[in-house]
Homo-oligomer: A and B are copies of this chain.
């Protein structure tokens, strides 16, 4: 393990810590997961965690950001596969609902984040990732004349709120594969409301 640069050491350790944080915070939730447990799962001690992160909240925040980066990438990929703006929106919504089947994502992003981080913080981070994708999709639809004009940031936020609840419902279903289309149908109904 000798001969590595400081940046390499840091990246290695922070990477391991964030990965472990996502696993443990995602599996057991924020409160019952000790920072020692995360450090141990990462193969280091608490000292390393407190050196690289300000505290437990900062470590959680890093895991949260990582979750959002992943889902945003998946959304952009899915929406990019459609040409029609409204079809892209529907596809993106469906992809988000599917992503909610991941228990870690639900626990970190949908359940714990608003409580652990302030709502302002969550909103800001979500805006930079998830909401930006949704907002862009809406803007394209409006520009193309396929959706009615209005307060797009607010509209994106409302759609997002509905999708989060839908994701939790889907995850709770005993047969998600069967319920996804039904849920997507109700969600599409709301998207249809935006047609001019």
A residues apposed to B, CB below 8 Å = 29-31, 110-112, 114-116, 119-120, 123, 148, 150-151, 154-155, 157-166, 168-169, 172, 182-183, 185-187, 189-190, 192-194
Given A114-B114, A115-B114, A115-B115, A169 and B157 contact (CB-CB distance below 8 Å): yes
Given A111-B119, A115-B29, A115-B30, A169 and B154 contact (CB-CB distance below 8 Å): yes
CB distance from A104 to the nearest CB of B (A): 14
CB distance from A41 to the nearest CB of B (A): 21
B168 A187 Cβ-Cβ under 8 A: no
Dominant secondary structure at the A interface: helix
Residues of B within 8 A of A183 (CB): 151, 154
- Considering the complex, give the chain B residue whose CB is closest to the CB of A148: B189
Residues of B within 8 A of A123 (CB): 168, 172
Sampled A-B contacts (19; CB under 8 Å) = A29-B115, A31-B115, A110-B114, A111-B115, A114-B114, A119-B172, A151-B185, A151-B186, A154-B183, A154-B186, A157-B166, A157-B169, A158-B162, A158-B165, A158-B187, A161-B162, A161-B165, A162-B190, A164-B165
